[in-house]
A = this chain, B = another copy of it.
């Protein structure tokens, strides 16, 4: 059980100051003896835990030798380079996932959904590695593991069986990837992952990079199966660039159908790919999450995993500059991600998990625009990070 805590003058999402009490790891508004430990949050904005809803914990190169990227420009070049690097560089999924989690903890990232590679060369070793890390660091962060057929599924014999093994080994979510452009057979790919999810009673999270009408067609296939299998609220589509490439009427129609089937959409706000219509998506009531995608791996050399910086990227990609819009992109990186991931007890309300990220800033928009580093991070009432530094009494890390 964690120590009780009083956070004075906290400004939830930049709003008016309130005193927040955390007892037994949960927000507690009932009267009672005031906790001994106090934090003055007057100079800070208070956020709930930042939510990283899409990353690849198993393949970051953080802390390893510099990888000279000579990879060609297509997605298939990158998938091949990635698969070769796993072998050549000996990327240890257990160690690397822990490194990324510890790098993003001081930003206030307290929940992570990670796609984890499953393929015929490594089998489910990466799934096992990330699950080990999840167990070791369970007091620091919540991790969801997606079994992810990065190299393709149906064309690579044995992969579907490995996906099944990954689910039996403890993966939480069935992944998928580009049913047309990678797997070359959209109907059979999507049928296969829905069947797998149905068999294991697990949610789905599918990478969909397909562009334009091809992407829209794949999206329709996903919608139809979500409806047929009553998987409302349990399906996420990651990237969905096609939504940024359709004419206005078709775009809005598809978004409304996604809302009706409670399918969430994840966007990282990639500067080089089509921009999703964020404002419209939120106005229609779509659940929108965001993530860092790869951090310092063979795909791309950058990324720090700060989900406040991600809120900035989302705003910049959409040409948003005013305070209200920046607040909206922050909601995507907190409440939106929590809803899409199905996190329970998330947010500032009575009885919810006592998690807080205190960011030194005068306004929420300033926190997004300047992403200050000296944050204080509280999980279940326990101070894990104080002004940017990991607390000395942190629980032991394996």
Q: Which residues of A contact B (CB under 8 A)?
A: 65-66, 68-71, 73, 269-273, 275, 296, 299-302, 304, 312-313, 316-319, 321-324, 326, 362-363, 365-366, 368-370
Contact = CB atoms under 8 A, between A and B. Distances in A.
Nearest to A65: B362
26 contacts: A66-B362, A66-B366, A68-B323, A68-B365, A69-B322, A69-B365, A70-B322, A70-B324, A71-B321, A73-B319, A270-B316, A271-B313, A271-B316, A271-B317, A272-B316, A272-B317, A272-B318, A296-B370, A301-B323, A301-B326, A301-B365, A301-B366, A301-B369, A302-B368, A302-B369, A302-B370
Contacts of A68: 323, 363, 365
Contacts of A323: 68-70, 301
Q: Which 9 A-B pairs rank lowest in CB-CB distance, beginning with the nearest?
A: A272-B319, A301-B369, A302-B369, A66-B362, A69-B322, A271-B271, A271-B316, A271-B317, A300-B321
Contacts of A317: 271-272
A277 to B, nearest CB: 12
A64 to B, nearest CB: 11
Contacts of A326: 301
A312 B301 CA distance: 10
Contacts of A269: 271
A272 B272 contact: no
Contacts of A316: 270-272, 302
A253 B174 CA distance: 49
A273 B302 CA distance: 22
Contacts of A366: 66, 301
B301 A71 contact: no
A73 B65 CA distance: 45
Contacts of A301: 321, 323, 326, 365-366, 368-370
A316 B269 CA distance: 11
A228 B326 CA distance: 47
B296 A369 contact: yes
A66 B312 CA distance: 17
Nearest to A371: B302
Contacts of A370: 296, 301-302, 304
A82 B322 CA distance: 13
Contacts of A70: 322-324
B299 A321 contact: yes
Given A272-B275, A272-B317, A369-B301, A71 B362 contact: no
A304 to B, nearest CB: 8
A71 B312 CA distance: 17
B319 A312 contact: no
Contacts of A313: 271
A167 B164 CA distance: 73
- Most central of A69, A270, A324, A370 by chain B CB within 10 Å: A69
Contacts of A300: 321, 369
Contacts of A299: 321
Contacts of A365: 68-69, 301
A68 B299 CA distance: 37
A368 B302 CA distance: 8
B66 A363 contact: yes
Nearest to A69: B322
Contacts of A66: 362-363, 366
Contacts of A304: 370
A253 B139 CA distance: 60
Contact of A71 (B275, B322, B363, B368): B322
